[in-house]
Amino acid sequence: MSASGQYIQPRLIASGDPIFQLPVDQTPPLPNELHIVDTLFKKHRKTMDVIFEEAKYSIFVALLVMIACLPNVDLIINKMLPATQNVLYFSLLAKGVVAGIIYWIVKHFYLSQKPNM
């Protein structure tokens, strides 16, 4: 309001071009441009997708531990490494090393791949 009590309407200033006047390029976007757009505008995931994504490593580790605790695994390790028959700690170490290698392989080559949507 001005000092005399009258309202002065502000002038509208054009802040850019209308969308229909913007130039359009027919070349496909580059991979790094797609990556930037995907990073900025991630899709909203469903709750179950988030739970599975967060829990898949834990489930996989639980399965590895269950498999490593089977008596047949002990027999196989004892046959391959005879020193593990006498000392329990060698057997546990051998199972841990094998399970760690399997976990690393699966994590880096299978679970880390993102599905194509």
Residue 67 pLDDT:
92
The domain containing residue 95 runs over which residues?
Answer: 29-111
> Based on the structure, what is the number of domains in the chain?
1
Q: Is residue 101 in some structural domain?
A: yes
Cα separation, 39 vs 75, in Å, equals: 49
Q: Is the pLDDT of residue 107 over 90?
A: no
* Whether this model's pTM surpasses 0.85: no
Q: Is residue 16 in some structural domain?
A: no
Helices marked H in 41-87: 47-68, 71-80
Kindly state the helix (H) or strand (E) to which residue 101 belongs, with its residue range: helix 88-106
Cα separation, 15 vs 79, in Å, equals: 78
Tens-digit pLDDT profile for residues 30-65: 888 888 887 887 776 677 777 887 888 888 899 999
**Span 73-100, average pLDDT:** 89
Q: Is residue 68 in some structural domain?
A: yes
pLDDT category at 117 given cuts 50, 70, 90 is very low
Q: Is residue 105 in some structural domain?
A: yes
Q: Is residue 3 in some structural domain?
A: no
Residue 54 pLDDT:
80
